[in-house]
Chains A and B, each alone.
With several copies, the nearest count.
Chain A
């Protein structure tokens, strides 16, 4: 199952809820302001590093770029995809839930 999140984890609880209500092994795609969750050295980096071991975490490249976040700044294990990759994730998983 694919879960998308579009809110900054520093501003709203959507990312937390996506972790709480997704099964282990799910795919989580961070889009829009949720891409900030992928940042190394943040106050929530520990939670995200833990999540990388239980979920497959993806981040949308066009949204990373718009916000000036370089790939080197991301937590290891998070995978970068474009809009094509977003479509592929939606095809690969049989259902999609958007945490707004």
Chain B
């Protein structure tokens, strides 16, 4: 199939209000098997997908938030969170799930997957991608 492509999943929707985030996560997990260069961006209400402490017991929906913890095991280790989106929502990175991965190139040390970037940095990262999918 030729060269490795840069895939980015851009998440802009909150969880539960619509299914995009859940079905978007399913794409990311399946896509991990294809050995491409994968990253995810969390922008606008997408930052709420990573909020700690989700509990769907009273609303009867499927709580899929724990699946984000699996991303590291699937070698999806670049989770870009836009600083401006966090700030507008009164959140800090401490409000987010502490997602990590084991760095194979650094003696399997556990490192944070979440990288807070500002709009300008994220615009540059988006401009470097080959394939962009939106949830």
Contact = CB atoms under 8 A, between A and B. Distances in A.
Contacts of B14: 8, 11, 33, 36, 67
B120 to A, nearest CB: 9
Contact of A21 (B48, B90, B123): B123
A68 B51 contact: yes
A96 B13 CA distance: 19
Interface string A1-16: 1000011101101000
A45 interface: yes
A90 B101 CA distance: 36
A51 B92 CA distance: 25
A40 B119 contact: no
Nearest to B10: A97
Interface residues of A, number: 39
B17 A99 contact: no
Nearest to B61: A66
A38 to B, nearest CB: 10
Given A39-B90, A67-B16, A17 B44 contact: yes
A9 B114 CA distance: 25
A10 B59 contact: no
Contacts of B104: none
B89 A36 contact: yes
Interface of B: 10, 12-18, 43-45, 48, 51-61, 63, 65, 82, 84, 87-90, 119, 122-124, 126-127, 129-132, 134
24 contacts: A6-B17, A8-B14, A11-B14, A11-B45, A17-B43, A20-B123, A21-B43, A21-B122, A33-B17, A33-B18, A36-B48, A41-B90, A42-B88, A43-B88, A43-B89, A63-B16, A65-B59, A66-B58, A66-B59, A82-B58, A95-B129, A95-B131, A97-B10, A99-B134
